[in-house]
Structure formats: C-alpha cells, structure tokens
Amino acid sequence: MTQNRGVSAHRTRRTLWRDRIRTIMQIAMGVAMLWPYAFSYSAEGATFTLVNKTPYFLHAVINNIPSVYIPPGCVVNYDANGLGNVIVEVRYSPGQAVNGSTLRSFEIIYHTTGSGSQDIASTCNEQGNSCDSSTESSVTTSAEPVKWVVTESDLASN
C-alpha cells in the first residue's frame, strides 16, 4: 500500500512548469532592462545619447530601433559607428495626459588626425647603397559623441 503525502503528481508537475516559466520570464526581463547598456559606448566614440528631461515617459525610434517607455531622467545610448547621421523620432508614451512628437536628424562628425605614413624601420646593406624601409599608417579617426536632451518644449503638440 502506498502512502498519500497530500500532493498529487499532477500538481507537482504543474508547479514545476510554473516555476520554469517564472524563471524564464525573470531572465528575459533582466536582459530587456540591461539591453540598452550593452551598446552604450564604442571605442571610436561615435555614440548618440538621448536624455529624457521631461516628467513623462517617452517612446523613441533611433535609426529604426525603438526604445519604449523611457522613464524621466533616463539615458538611452546608441552606437552610431560608421554612420553619417542619426535620425531620431521621439513622442510621449501612450497612456499619459499629454501628446506631442518630434523628428530630428543629427550629423556624426568624424575627425582624422595623424599623418598618412610613418617610417618605423630602416635597414641598409653594408655598403649603404640599398636601403629598405617599411612604413605604417598613423592615421586615427574618431567621432564626436552626439547628445540630445529632450525637454517638453521639444515635444510641443503640432
């Protein structure tokens, strides 16, 4: 005769399934919250930064990549390497008592510093009449970070 412990096998499987779903959802929420910070800064400095200085939540689309329900005071960073400009559309998130939107384009300005080539090694034969030298480029390209601080006046209703 088997003992009844008060818990059926069916209930145990349902509880385990619910726990798995809960764990997966928690991991997904953690990844979703940290996703914007994964691409916050690049070595070349070509970043676009959006700062929400309104007292409302915002929706932003930066080069066709949406960021939704950006809280007041929050910063969204976008890696703009290799791009000539960044197109940004910002509007108030739905469910708030305000309406308004704006569309702006920002140019990424790249700077090149250094010379086209630089001698790094020279070798000559014993007589000094045949010299070989190798050159290496010392050109550095960097970009100015672009920042837009969004205020309520930027989102005035049209």
Helix (H) or strand (E) holding 75: strand 75-79
Mean pLDDT, the chain, integer: 74
Confidence of residue 150 (pLDDT cuts 50, 70, 90): very high
Pick the residue with more confidence: 116 or 92?
Answer: 92
**Separation of CA 94 from chain center:** 23
Whole-angstrom Cα distance, residue 145 to residue 76? 13
Tens of pLDDT, residues 25-54: 888 888 887 776 664 444 455 788 899 999
Enter the pTM of the model.
Answer: 0.55
